[in-house]
Amino acid sequence: MLRTVGGQLKIRPISARYMHEKEIKHYERQIEIDPLFPQR
């Protein structure tokens, strides 16, 4: 799923269930800190 946050295009991860807002914010913070986060 694509969306725009702060003028940046973001891709939401595909998962088996819908992520709660708290999980989304945590995931996005990890991406900002370490862009390779989901690839590890």
Residue 4 has what pLDDT?
84
Q: What digits encode the pLDDT tens for the residues 1-40? A: 778 888 888 887 776 677 789 988 998 888 888 877 666 5
Residue 15: predicted pLDDT: 65
AA identity, residue 23: E
For 1-40, strand residue ranges (E) read: 2-5, 8-11
Q: According to the model, what pLDDT value does residue 22 have?
A: 93
Q: Whose CA is closest to 31, among 4, 13, 14? A: 13
What is the Cα 8 distance to its own chain's centre? 12
pLDDT at 38: 65
Any idea where the domains of the chain sit in the sequence? Answer: 2-39
Residues 31 and 25: their CA atoms lie apart, in Å, by: 10
